[in-house]
Every structure is written in C-alpha cells, then in structure tokens.
Amino acid sequence: MTQDNPGHEKREANQTDTPTEGKATHPQAEIAPTSIELHPHSAADHHPSTDEEKKERRERLKLVFEGIGLLVLTLYTIFSAFQWRTMSGQLDEMRKVTGATERSINQADLNFRRDERAWIGFALPEGIQIQKEATTQRPTALLVPTQTVNTGKTPAKKVTGNLAITVIKKGEKLVFEYTSGHTNYGIYGGTMFPGGRVTLAQPAIRHGPKKAITIVPTDALMQEINQGQSFVVVYGRVTYCDIFGVSHWTTFCRYATRPGFIDYACMNYNDADINETPDKSGCPAK
C-alpha cells in the first residue's frame, strides 16, 4: 500500500513555482490578438489608365518621335550640304575644264580662219609709163600700173574699192577721200581666187571744175618729178568678204616715183582690218 507523502508533493510544487538560483527569469509578454482583414484589389488599382495618363503617354511618344525626326532631318541636312558642296566643287571644276576646252576649240577655229581666209593686198610695179599721141608722139598722160592681189588661201568675195592716182608737190598734204569732188577710179574685182589679180594701168588725174583732168607729163613736170620736187602718188581702199562671212578692208598708199621720199601720212595710211566677227548684213552666208 502506497503511502501518501505530502512533503514530497510540496517539494515538487516548490520546484516548479520557484526559480532555481543562478538562472534569470523573464516574465511572459502578453500577445495581443491580431485581426487580419482581406480586401480584394481590382486590376484598375495596379494599372491606372485614366485619360490624363493616356494623354501624357501620347505627349511623351510624340516628343520622342519629334526628336527622332528632328535628328534625322539634321543629319540629312548636314549630309545634303556636304554633298552639295562636293558637287558644287565638282561642277566648278567641270565648268573650268569645259570653259578651257571651249576656249581652246574657239582659238583653234579662230587660228584656222586666220590662216585660211582671203587677204587682199596692193602691189605697185616699178616705173611709170608716158603715154604719147600716135602721130605726133606728144606726151598725153602718165600711166601708172597697179595690182590688187588676193594673197590668201581662199577666195575673196565682193571685192570693190577706190584707187586714186595723182601728182603732188613736195610738202603737199594728201586727202584720203573718195567722195564727190575727189577724183578716183573704181575697183570691181568681184570674186578673186587665191593668187588672183586685178591689174590696171590708169593715167594720173586731178580734180577739175566738172570732171577729172588727166595730168599731162610736160617737160617741166617731168623735170620736177626727176628732181624730187613733185611725186606720182597712188592710194586707195579695197573692201571684200571672206568665205567665213567676215567683212574686211585694206588701205594703201605708195609713191610711184621716188619711193624713198614717202611722207609719214602716206606711209601710215597702209593698214588692214582685224575683223573676226561675221557680218551677216554685208557678207551674208550662202
């Protein structure tokens, strides 16, 4: 039979309720009851899609695309400017080359025309002739031979001109006029081919009251001519067209006697044109 041991139970109770020496004791904290509430969330709460937000997104996209467009436009402008500058430089070089080529061609054509054109000149064979009457052998005129010559390589067309043959005294001034009141002969050469000549032997004349007067080589006049007190002078002007349609002229002056005594005015009258532009009115091309 078991005996009750009240002292033993008491000791166990004490061991349970009384803390052991050397060990800390902590009071137990009270835990308040927690209440958890569950609230359902809709998709609209996580992804707002209001009109303002949509408008803001559209504005941002618009700015992005505008920025991209502006960048592309800027790059295109820079590229176009560079390309234009390059092409402009190339065009300038091409123009220079083209201009130089054109000038070279024009110069070659001009040189060809100069070399191939007709050139009308004047020749004065030496000496004069005294024309005499057949029966009495009395001197009646001073005949002076002259030649108009085409020294060029192509024909000269519409060759016309004026020729004066006269006698002047030493120191007398020449008047290079072929209008009314100034006696002269006409030159009508028509078309003169290369090497062609118009040869004349006309008497020396002077202007008279109504018409030209033939100068008679009297003994006194011939003495003046031989002594260099008077001179037989030939001067004139010839006009013509070359085959390229350019009009030309030649002026000439010679002393048929005592050529070494030629004065400055006569010598300076010898000249020729430098025309190189076609004359459509005076020398029409056919």
Residue type, 140: T
d(CA 131, CA 98): 65
Half-sphere exposure of 15 (CA within 13 A, CB side): 6
Residues 107, 229: one domain? no
Whether residue 207 lies inside any domain: the answer is yes
Whether residue 237 lies inside any domain: the answer is yes
Residues 78, 144: one domain? no
Whether residue 130 lies inside any domain: the answer is yes
Total structural domains within the chain? 2
**String of DSSP letters for the chain:** -----HHHHHHHHHHHHSPPTT----PPPPPPPP--------HHHHS---HHHHHHHHHHHHHHHHHHHHHHHHHHHHHHHHHHHHHHHHHHHHHHHHHHHHHHHHHHHHHHHHHHS--EEEE--S--EEEE-TTT--EEEEEEEEEEEE-SSS-EEEEEEEEEEEEEETTPPP----STTS--EEEEEEEE-TT-EEEEEEE-EEE-SSSEEEPP--HHHHHHHHHTSEEEEEEEEEEEE-TTS-EEEEEEEEESS-GGG--HHHHHH-EE----S--TTTS---
Whether residue 75 lies inside any domain: the answer is yes
Give the pair of three-digit tokens for residue 110. Answer: 């001009």
Whether residue 44 lies inside any domain: the answer is no
The per-residue pLDDT for 113 is: 86
Residues 112, 166: one domain? no
Residues 164, 196: one domain? yes
Residues 175, 207: one domain? yes
The per-residue pLDDT for 48 is: 52
Q: 92 — phi, psi (to 5°)? A: -60, -45
Residues 86, 155: one domain? no
Q: 44 — phi, psi (to 5°)? A: -70, -30
The CATH number covering residue 162 comes to 2.60.40.10
Q: Which residue, 128, 173, 167, 120, is CA-closest to 146?
A: 128
Structural domain boundaries enclosing 175: 120-272
d(CA 185, CA 165): 8
Whether residue 172 lies inside any domain: the answer is yes
Would you write out the chain's pLDDT as a tens digit for each of its 286 residues? 444 444 444 444 444 444 444 444 445 555 555 555 555 555 445 555 588 888 888 888 888 888 888 888 888 888 888 777 787 777 777 878 887 888 888 888 888 888 999 999 999 887 789 999 999 999 999 999 999 999 999 999 999 999 999 999 999 999 999 988 888 999 998 999 999 998 889 999 998 888 889 999 999 999 999 999 999 999 999 999 999 999 999 999 999 998 888 999 999 999 999 999 999 888 986 6
Decide if 232 contacts 204 (C-beta within 8 A).
yes
Residues 150, 164: one domain? yes
Residues 234, 111: one domain? no
The per-residue pLDDT for 3 is: 46
Which of 74, 90, 116 is at the close of a domain? 116
Residues 124, 254: one domain? yes
The per-residue pLDDT for 14 is: 47
Whether residue 67 lies inside any domain: the answer is yes
Residues 239, 168: one domain? yes
The per-residue pLDDT for 35 is: 53
Whether residue 106 lies inside any domain: the answer is yes
The per-residue pLDDT for 49 is: 58
| pTM of full prediction above 0.85 | no
Residues 159, 218: one domain? yes
The per-residue pLDDT for 30 is: 55
Residues 63, 76: one domain? yes
